[in-house]
Structure 1
Amino acid sequence: MDELYHKEESFDPETIGKLKGHYAAILCLLGEDVGREGLVKTPERVAKAMSFLTKGYRVDPLSILRSAMFREEYKQMVLVKDIELYSLCEHHMLPFYGKAHVAYIPNGYITGLSKIARIVECYARRLQVQERLTVQIRDCIQEALNPMGVAVVIEASHMCMQMRGVEKQESATTTSAFTGIFLSDHRTREEFMTLISHKYR
């Protein structure tokens, strides 16, 4: 069965080795025995997991958009909604997760739709706060495409509020960031908000 499954992952061996040592030390400090069967490979697994969860530091988001820019005279809203995102809160390094809704109004150039999702992924795969993440996505699209306006809304749940602290299981946080016509024209902003709240079947 193992011969039928081949998984490829790319990690820097030196970085993983150093992280592995630190996580082994952390487990010891917590009172665990890193030599027991269930934990022998845990420091390396966690090192690789953290490397994956923070892979956004090793990607240039502007280059993602600029690699797929096309001249187009379309001047209506382009919306990519319900983009799943998973990130780590920089305060406790616990996950927060949810959806991003991203729109822009082209000003001579459009980009591949998948690139919008990749921008969200790039910034989410870093230690974050939701407020900064929202602004970074907005600013990256504005800088790369120079559109007439950009709108970003993120709705997320934070494990640091659900697992620890106030332990409020149903809490959710919404953040928004706008530029250009989304700021100056309330009708355009309302159209965006209506579209992201509409559920397609």
Structure 2
Amino acid sequence: MLNILLMDSNFYLKSGLSALIFNQFTEAHKEEVLFLLPSEEKNRDIADIIFRDDMVTIRIFNQRSICASHESGREGDEGMTIHVPFITKNLTLDEISIKIGKIISIARADYNLLVNREETYWNFGLKKYAQLSDTENDVMILVGRGYDSTDISRILNRSRKTISTHYRNASRKMGAVNRAEFYRYASFIANCRRDERNTLCL
């Protein structure tokens, strides 16, 4: 069962999104998806996929570790959280459907297959060069914390021109068409726990 939470407050966007999600499943597998109510706080903890305005959060649980930790009484590695920029303004319905298909495939994947990033990119038809570099990720987090390019160049010991290049590259890879879209995603990621800052660009 795939638990999906749609956090968008726009009824029409929500309806369209849920239809596109349903289209990813064959008639025989439609019962494998459950839409959770956003009004219930606990649903954020049990959702496998959370669609927000311009981003998607995917939680992949490590079933082997969960079972082992229940048996042994010790805490194990229970999974990972991946955030996907989901900026769709300039995309066609087919392109949005392809993105949703990839998101669902990743959410349904075996946790142990996702641990190796190189194989993950290959398995899901993702391009390594289209992913954020470590420096681009650092720039994004610092932007999300409210630093400007002068502060970031000082913190990372790079020129302002280099920081601007990293910002532009990160924006392009994420599909952000303006600073507001980039900042919304960056501020969300900056407020996540360190182990939950994984960004995957589809």
Shorter-chain-normalised TM-score: which range? Answer: under 0.3
With structure 1 as the length reference, what TM-score do the two structures score? 0.28
Q: Which has more helix, going by share of residues? A: 2
Q: Which has more strand, going by share of residues? A: 1
